[in-house]
Amino acid sequence: MPIRKLSKLLVNQIAAGEVIERPASVVKELVENSLDAGATRIDVILEDGGRQLIRISDDGHGIPPDELPLAVEPHATSKLTAAEQLAAIGTLGFRGEALASIASISRLKITSRATIDGKANEAGAVLEASGDQCGDVSPWAGSPGTVLEVRDLFFNTPARRKFLRTAPTEFGHINDTLTRIAMVHHNVAFKLKHNDRVTFDIPANQKRAQRCVALLGKDLNDELLEFTHEDLPERGGGKIWGLAGQPSIARATGKAQYLCVNGRPIKDRNLAHAVKEAYRGLMPMDRFPVAVVFLEIDPHTVDVNVHPAKAEVRFRNPSHVHGLVLSAVRQRLLGSDLTPSASFTGHNAFAGSSFHPSGFTPPAPGASPNVSTDAFVDFFKRMDPKEKGFAYQEVRKALAEEDPSAIESDEDSLITPDSTSTPQASGLKPQSVLQVHKSYLVTQDDDGLIIVDQHALHERVMFEMLRKRVLGDGKPLESQRLLMPVIVDADAARQATLEQMQPLLEKIGVELAPIGPDAVAVQAFPSFLFERGVEPDTFIVDLVNKADTGQLDLSNPNVEESALHEVLDMMSCKAAVKAGDKMNGDELSALLAKREEIDRSSNCPHGRPTTLRLTLKDLEKQFGRT
């Protein structure tokens, strides 16, 4: 076939194939046009999931009659005049493809009355276009603004139409699309109606949090933590506003994460990873947090022209943006007490709705768990000497803040590798602690009963201590040279994985080297794990398995910290006391004392809860006292 120019219709239908995937795509493009036109109210009416009818009306500044034919021409727009403007896009639409593409695959009708300099035109106009046909402009009398009707979507492209799903499915996509747009533009009123049924009707000029709760559900009002964060200009700048959902309302998918950049709802793996990473250790890794993150950055540092439907963006400095979001969400979570309350529904509380967040009130001064003379020696006896000294210094510091007179000032009293001396008794009053089935600890606070999973809490304690050691001074953990290297089977692929993991292994005190095509030799191993009876070969195999299954991603610099956390989590899990381990009274008290001092004590590094509370109100209700 000779080279020939494609017909106008075919060009527009090809563009439609990129821009218009389903009815939700039409709604997105047209609503964004309404917003760019300065609309303060947008009504969306649908029939048959948008397959038969999509009608969008707004009170924006409209389109003058003489511009209506141009509006349905390809690459015609009022939002862009020079290539320089592409470096800092300030509108939601700018390509000039939407109306031409929609008209090529549907029966489009535009009625509009323009407002210029605050004064409405005397009359409006109406234009109909379908396929490669465009009608004449006719007069129209109506209120200022624009109404667009899209009927019989894909009527002339049956190959595309047959891929549409059922009406409920298509409506679900539209509802999600409009929800994300309405959430961002909280000063605009939105109404969505499907088959004569109003799905939502929200007023204009709401506060950000008020708009989000209205769309997400009022039942989540008490489950969302509002936060703001602003970065210094010299560090790259950027402002963030958002809502972080309690870990207990996490979902099975990431659909409940709402990301926005400069007023544009987007989907971005980099930002989604930052949000998920902020919740690391607060929920299982197969769960996804409910979160809203609105980011404002210099438009010159973000490219919104990388996707035909403008659903994705590209950042000039993705690492900076990732760190900004991660820091904002993480700081808000660290500033909140996330200890959940148990209920009597009989269901798995952490996985379902029977968990409800409740703040944890620490015991009053003088009523803390007892920390006796031998508690820390017994409790940390299986840690390597250097870890013992570090742990005791941390606890000693906390005790000194509560009762300075109870702690000696002589530094020689600290536990050191060569010292068998014990810390001085603190003078704190003992509190009853009961170990149940050698797995759970039961104590009380002013509001009710506290139930602790001993393994989960000890795992969090170990993790935080290891994390501070590795990230605090940057020095690797103390390791022990092996008299006889431990041989671990490793083929070429696993040796390559271990080589890529080398910087990580050095931080935790592991030294190994290949000794042939199918094996490596472990020459040094963390003293901490040796003391806890962890076998080097088992540890290395488990570590490689995590990398093979994607739990350790070493290819992205943004996840370097998460990879380290994953390894420290694995170490702390193997080192912590297990369910079924008998603990004496001093060990129990010492563990509860550490709970008050560490970050994120409400959850183990895997995200399981360490602690549940049965409030006095719940107990009285169950015993019929209220």
What is residue 562's DSSP assignment? H
Mean pLDDT within 285-311: 86
Q: Whole-model pTM above 0.75? A: no
Comparing 279-288, 324-333, 406-415, which segment has the lowest mean pLDDT? 406-415
Ordered by where they begin, the domains of the chain are: 8-202 (3.30.565.10), 208-336 (3.30.230.10), 356-467+582-622 (3.30.1540.20), 476-574 (3.30.1370.100)
In this prediction, what percent of the chain has a pLDDT beyond 90?
Answer: 35
Mean pLDDT within 498-515: 88
Give 559's pLDDT tier (boundaries 50, 70, 90). low
Report which of residues 372 and 470 the model is more confident about.
470
- Which pLDDT value is given to residue 553? 65
- Which pLDDT value is given to residue 431? 57
- Which pLDDT value is given to residue 555? 58
Give 209-212 contacts, CB < 8 A, sequence gap 24+: 209/243, 210/186, 211/182, 211/183, 211/186, 212/183, 212/243, 212/258, 212/292
Instruction: Classify strands 189-194 and 41-47 as parallel, antiparallel or unpaired.
Output: parallel
Give 493's pLDDT tier (boundaries 50, 70, 90). confident
- Which pLDDT value is given to residue 197? 93
Tell the residue number behind the tokens 């800092």, with chain if given. Answer: 88
The sign of the CA dihedral 211, 212, 218, 223 is negative
What is residue 429's DSSP assignment? P
- Is it the case that residue 275 has pLDDT exceeding 90? yes
- Is it the case that residue 166 has pLDDT exceeding 60? yes
Query: Do the Cβ atoms of 267 and 279 come closer than 8 Å?
Result: no
R_g (Cα) of the chain, nearest Å: 31
- Is it the case that residue 207 has pLDDT exceeding 50? yes
Give 91's pLDDT tier (boundaries 50, 70, 90). confident
What are the Cα distances from residue 169, in Å, to 22, 50, 52, 129, 476?
A: 11, 10, 14, 28, 53
pLDDT in tens, 109-130: 999 999 987 787 878 999 999 9
In this prediction, what percent of the chain has a pLDDT beyond 70?
Answer: 82
Mean pLDDT within 414-425: 28
Give 560's pLDDT tier (boundaries 50, 70, 90). low
Comparing 96-105, 361-370, 415-424, 486-495, which segment has the lowest mean pLDDT? 415-424
- Which pLDDT value is given to residue 118? 77
- Which pLDDT value is given to residue 385? 44
- Which pLDDT value is given to residue 109? 96
Comparing 3-17, 54-68, 373-387, 425-439, which segment has the lowest mean pLDDT? 373-387
For all residues of the chain together, what is the average pLDDT? 80
Residue 510: phi and psi, rounded to 5, are -105, 130
pLDDT in tens, 334-348: 878 777 776 655 444
Mean pLDDT within 132-151: 92
Sheet holding 239-245, edge to edge: 224-230, 239-245, 291-296, 257-261, 264-266
- Which pLDDT value is given to residue 449? 86
Best CA proximity match to 238, nearest among 186, 329, 303, 299: 299
Mean pLDDT within 358-377: 37
